[in-house]
Structure 1
Amino acid sequence: MSKPVLYSQWTSSCVWRVRNALHLKGIGYEVKIVDIDNKKDQFSVEFTRLNPMRHVPAFSIGETCLYESIAILNFLEEAYPGTPLLPKDLVQRAKVRAFVDIVASGIQPLQNTKVLLKVKNDKCDEKEWGRYWISLGFEAVERILSSSSGKYCFGDEITLADCVLVPQVLNAKKFNVDFTPFPTICRINENLKEHKAFKLANPINQPDFPENIPENIKVLYQ
């Protein structure tokens, strides 16, 4: 059977979540770059057929293509249970899923590209907009992690919560969020950055990461 294909773009935090899980579970995959800056890729008939929302990630397995990062994460958890990313305890499992929802539904969508473009077109300060919503969401995340965390978000085993946290921390840095109120987030993020799977999933190690990227941007990924 051929390897699954991940439709990817290096700047996408949603794709990054999926890469984290793929590397943690040791799943081999091929990468197909969707150049978001080149609308011919994103809005092509072929890609629209794969993902009606026309954004990354999309994850193709044989004749089937999945889309939306959290749906893909849940599929990987069920299809490849060998390295679980959800706790066995049902209450803890629900807490991890709630954490994932906070990041994926309550923070990231409010600072993604198409929302910021709308904000900018309406003459708002898109940086201030993104910073406000990320900081508000991180206040909740920090409160949760202050009681749930060990080495990672929920104890000392990596879960889906960790998969979504790392990309969101990078997004926060792009918006110049003040991390002083979020020491637990910072500590866990530093632990995860040292994990082999998260290093492999880092955008800086992706085939389309630009060689000529400014140093002040590149350093955010290191």
Structure 2
Amino acid sequence: MDDDAGLLRDLAVTGPDGLEEAHRHRRDLVAAVETTGDPELAARTIGSYDVPAVWPRADDTEGAGELSRAAARLGPEGPPALRARLLSVMAVESRGDGAADAPLPRASGAPATEPRRLRAERAEDEAVRLARRLSDPTLLAFALNSAFMQAFTACGSAARRDALGTELTRLAVDHQLPGHEVLGRIIRLQALAGLGDLTDADTEADEIDRLADRNERPLAGVFTT
């Protein structure tokens, strides 16, 4: 099932049709893996769906909510890297999901229920902390993506998003993570436009188009266009 999740991750970045198909099969995969009775397999499978996310509200809110709640149900057990992935899934997929009221998978102190936004913010904060401690660039890239998903809670947050995009871009360049480099630059494009720096935003757009063409990421053109 880990391989199936990897195939869905690749399918999701091929274009609108691939993304829709990936969403459909992802829900079936999550349902199937939860029936195995193997929580470690379920956690690995759910945590492996680390598709770069840009929209601050999920386009498949029902499926995203199911995935977020599945990650939460697996609880705080397991190695730190797996926990960081599950926390990142929660933070990315809980956007727009007001029904995701399962406990936060932390070892200490979290109430049984709490507002979705607060729970998601705590999840991304813990995910980033764990990923930094583990010095795992791919894991940190996904955790930074989850932090970006929670960086729309108040007006005036463009500077924070620019900082996240800058860190993600540098991380991706240093460790040859082209999908996350595209994401980091899209984050910067949006943030720079919000800050009124249109010259640097245009520079990022040109670089995104170049990377998208080289790495077959057609969805990136939605943002640069």
Pairwise same-fold verdict (TM > 0.5): no
Give the TM-score, by structure 1 length: 0.38
Structure number with greater CO (CA < 8 Å, separation at least 6) is 1
Task: Write 1 or 2 for the structure with the bigger share of strand.
Answer: 1
Give the TM-score, by structure 2 length: 0.38
